[in-house]
Amino acid sequence: MASSSSHQYDGMNLDQIATERGTSPFQALVAVLLQERLQASMTVFAMDEADVATAISHPFSMIGSDGLPPGNDGKPHPRMFGTFPRILAKYVRDTGLLSLPEAVRKMTGLPAEAFGINDRGLIRQGLAADLVLFDAETITDRATYEQPQRPADGIRMVVVNGRIAVEEGEYTGARAGRRLTAA
């Protein structure tokens, strides 16, 4: 259970909830959904590492996250905070599956191009300045299922629309982001 309206079961799996309730996992699931009035999200463990490596190494694959934002507390999937640092640490630095330029392209320019977001994804005069200054030798995802909102190591600065949003690991209070739509 990633998050629910009551937060009673956040961070617990169905077996734990079933044991606590004295029911089967299926009955626990139904009971929780009814109790929470369907206001619940979950983390599903269904990915195979070999499949992930195959997918991200394909020339047309893009790297992103479908993690839900942590605005309602709970235990969001660690990928919300760890996707991009994990790619840079594990698949670029540690295994060499991707080169650094290719990984960055798959996170920035390729998705912007594919989704028709013409003012992002590249560093060029006249485009939005969305930048991340990181140390390729030390970047590491630290988010876990128990502590999913832990920030990564090795990120020195985040710039959103030309405004510094994070500096030396600290949020500056800048709220320069906006919802993006295709042109």
Same domain, 37 and 54: no
Which domain range does residue 13 map to? Answer: 1-42
Q: Is the pLDDT of residue 34 over 90?
A: yes
For residues 181 and 183, give the distance between their C-alpha atoms in angstroms, rounded to a whole number. Answer: 6
Same domain, 75 and 128: yes
Same domain, 72 and 135: yes
Can you read off the two tokens belonging to residue 147?
């502590």
Looking only at Cα atoms, what is the longest distance across the chain? 62
Instruction: Determine, yes or no, domain membership for 30.
Output: yes
Same domain, 38 and 56: no
Read off the pLDDT of residues 59-77 as tens digits, 9 standing for 90 and up.
999 999 876 665 566 777 8
pTM passes above 0.75: yes
| Residue for token pair 């300045």 | 129
Same domain, 22 and 67: no
DSSP per-residue letters across the chain: --EESS-SSTT--HHHHHHHHTS-HHHHHHHHHHHTTT-EE-------HHHHHHHHHSTT------PPPSTT-S---THHHHHHHHIIIIIIIIT-SS-HHHHHHHHTHHHHHHTT-TTSSS--TTS---EEEE-TTT-B----SSSTTPPPBSEEEEEETTEEEEETTEE------------
For residues 143 and 151, give the distance between their C-alpha atoms in angstroms, rounded to a whole number. Answer: 7
45-55 average pLDDT score: 90
User: Higher pLDDT residue, 147 or 24?
Assistant: 24
Same domain, 20 and 65: no
Same domain, 6 and 66: no
Cβ–Cβ < 8 Å for 175, 163: no
Q: Is the pLDDT of residue 81 over 90?
A: no
For residues 28 and 34, give the distance between their C-alpha atoms in angstroms, rounded to a whole number. Answer: 10
